[in-house]
Structure 1
């Protein structure tokens, strides 16, 4: 299945997609030009804290891909800027409604919902 876009998503929101509690995603368009019928690969990411040096006062954060991905099918694209006229025309924000197609754990294989 050809994916039109690959995007990162935080682990807490990824979990909500898996459980069926999340059916839409608010996004900045960033030139993606999302369209109904496109498939998006959502890559689950988490932030890990690590101490780069012993005695370092500030803890650094590193974004890690968990190797879990969800394939979703866009069922509707709402351009939020067209609804809320007080928003500027750019950057463009969209609400993507979607259906879950499958979940991929690159360590274990493919799971269907």
Structure 2
């Protein structure tokens, strides 16, 4: 058994794709219409993907407060500067719980916390 993907319902597919492409660096793997008013996009490289589902008839998206997606970066400081340059707000952090890890959070267009972590 292997882990395939995480599914996220999104309010606006284009806005979400732009965030994950421009900020996180994930490209669209495949995209298709999945019924009337519903579109799905899989993003990411490798075997694990993020599935974004947008249903224009039901765009009331609920995100759990204790859920986040984590992405490793080479430098938290450089990523924070990039985030600010793009006009986004740092949600919380940076945190350095030990000398080997440093991280911070932003929110995606739907309110999901995205963690950028530097492992040293």
* TMscore range, shorter length: under 0.3
> Structure 1-normalised TM-score?
0.27
Point out the structure with max Rg over C-alpha: 1
Higher helix fraction (1 or 2): 2
Higher strand fraction (1 or 2): 1
